[in-house]
Amino acid sequence: MKLKVSEVLRAAPGSLLQGPAQAVLSGVSIDSRRTSPGELFVPLTGNNCDGHLFIRDAFNNGAQASFVRQGHPLLGQLLACGTDKALIAVADPLQALGEVARWWRKQFQIPVVAITGSNGKTTTKEMLWQITSIRLAALKNPGNWNNLIGLPLSLLQLHEGHQVGIMEMGMSERGEIQRLAEISAPHIAVITNIGPAHLEQLKTIDNIMAAKGELFAALGAADIAVVNRDDERVMVLAQKTRARILSFGTREGDIRGELVQIYDSGETVFNLDIMGKQDVVTLAPPGGIFLSNALAAAAVAHALNMRMEEIKQGLEAFRPIPGRMEIIRVDGITIINDSYNANPISMEASLKLLSAAKQKHRTIAVLGDMLELGEHSPGYHREVGRATARCGIDFLFVYGQFSASVAEGARADGMSAQHVFTFDRQEVLREKLRDEVHEGDWVLVKGSRAMKMEQIVEFLQRKAEAG
């Protein structure tokens, strides 16, 4: 990135308090410890830390410029340092970061794809990137850089060689998706699905639907809304957008996928139909659970003029991201590592995947709390217990504040009380697993990020390797 301080001032209105306006910036950083020479430092303020305390450190590490919030108590001290580094006063450094990214994105006349949804947005993003990278230079936001910090930082990585941008968008409150769309100016947008997530902040499914709908609302008449025909709420939102509709679904849509077979290994074969043109696609394990995401990625790829053979090649090359429906086989034990996060939709999908192994293997679900569901938490956790019982899972290990609710639901739907175990300490759960997990078992490990369920996965791997 080559961006003059004067251009930063044009993008994000502010005042240059000191330093040269013609200085050229080579990048943007929000961490003074990782700031590289020539970068713009953005001091963000969180619950536990104020980035303004580290502006001097950023300058010492080579930063050429820094934002500073207007009227900040440290402003006088920073000006007294007499440095030749640029100091730019803005109303809000986070807002200014977004405006700089918005200005930078406008310098590139390439299509940007925006992907949001309650579940599957990261998988859809990775699948689409796998497809488009066959022929196009595609930028994607790394990891979960999908919020008001991560998405701008991702867009600021755009350069002349890129031909398409693929941006995942997350949110926890109304207005976030609208702001992310303002920054990224997408030409193509997809909402994977709408379900109960972030209820603690948004309170109702209708509010979640409205928040996700901000993406379709941001599109113009020349843009494309990629619509999931299998999700009624997404279909309602599609009726309100000005954009052209391109639909996908397992039963009907412009892009359709008909399931053919799921093998014991987890490989999934389906017939892909794109506007009447068909081919057979095999998804790597556990492909069945990713079918809707594959159709969403195929639909967007089609909108980007990718060919059928490229879409097939990209989908077949996709492998699950670590911690997201990742299949780990170690010394006779099969672990479904879905420890990255959890909500009611993804919990049910993961349990159905585990259930598919029951015909030939003993199945064990190790579940942690689903967080951010607010007052609805006990009910949603009871429903997870019911789903576990309905799926015929052999053993249930539940960890966290709502473990009793999950256990109650499982027993209510007929699961033997002798096969249901609750824990409030993870180390006790791990010791119980040491005795109960045996060769040939399939074990699902899933919970919200804060529950640190990946530690259980690591424990099971060590146990299996030790014999």
pLDDT in tens, 367-416: 999 999 999 899 999 999 999 999 999 999 999 999 999 999 999 999 99
- What's the pTM? 0.91
What residues form DSSP beta bridges with 248? Answer: 228, 255
CATH superfamily ID and name for 108-317: Mur-like, catalytic domain (3.40.1190.10)
Least confident of 45-49, 224-228, 281-285, 308-312: 45-49
The neighbouring-strand residues paired with 227 are 247
Q: pLDDT band at 42, cuts 50/70/90?
A: very high
Residues of the chain with CATH 3.40.1190.10: 108-317
Q: Which amino acid is at 2?
A: K
Q: How far apart are the first and last CA of the chain?
A: 52
- Give the DSSP per-residue string, 123-182: HHHHHHHHHHTTTS-EEE--TT--STTHHHHHHTT--TT--EEEEE---SSTTHHHHHHH
User: pLDDT-derived band of residue 331, with 50, 70 and 90 as boundaries?
Assistant: confident
Q: For 160-181, what is the mean pLDDT?
A: 96
Check residue 107 and give its pLDDT.
Answer: 96
What is the average pLDDT value for the chain, to the nearest integer?
Answer: 94
**Average of pLDDT values for 235-249?**
97
Collapsing DSSP states into helix, strand and coil, what is residue 78?
Answer: helix
Q: Where in the chain is the domain with CATH 3.90.190.20?
A: 326-466
Strand partners, 193: none
Which CATH code for domain 326-466?
A: 3.90.190.20
**What is the rounded CA–CA span in Å between residue 169 and residue 173?**
12
User: Which is the CATH superfamily of the domain at 3-96?
Assistant: MurE/MurF, N-terminal domain (3.40.1390.10)
Residue 183, pLDDT > 90, answer yes
Q: How far is C-alpha 90 from the geometric centre of its chain's CA atoms?
A: 30
Q: Is the pLDDT of residue 229 over 70?
A: yes
Q: Is the pLDDT of residue 198 over 80?
A: no
What pLDDT score was predicted for residue 145?
A: 95
Residues of the chain with CATH 3.40.1390.10: 3-96
- What average pLDDT does the segment 259-267 reach? 85
- Residue 167: pLDDT band (50, 70, 90) is very high
Is the pLDDT reported for residue 285 higher than 90? no
Helix, strand, coil percentages, rounded to 5, for the chain:
40, 25, 35
Write down the number of H helices and E strands in the chain: 17, 22
Higher-confidence residue: 408 or 197?
A: 408
Please, which residues have CB within 8 angstroms of residue 19's CB and are 6 or more apart in sequence? 5, 64, 65, 83, 84, 85, 86, 87
Average pLDDT, integer, range 433-461 = 94
Q: Is the pLDDT of residue 83 over 80?
A: no
Contacts of 77 (CB under 8 A, 6+ apart): none
Q: What is the pLDDT of residue 467?
A: 63
Give the amino acid at 174. R
433 has a pLDDT exceeding 80:
yes
Query: What are the backbone angles phi and psi of residue 366, rounded to the nearest 5°?
Result: -115, 105
Degrees, nearest 5: CA angle 438-401-122:
70
* pLDDT tens per residue, range 360-376: 899 999 999 999 999 98
Residue in this structure with the two tokens 């950083």, named with its chain if needed: 29
Residue 202 has pLDDT above 90, yes or no: no
Report the range of poorest mean pLDDT among 81-85, 151-155, 303-307: 81-85
Q: Over 80: is that where the pLDDT of 81 sits?
A: no
Strand partners, 28: 40
The C-alpha atoms of residue 115 and residue 190 are separated, in whole angstroms, by 5
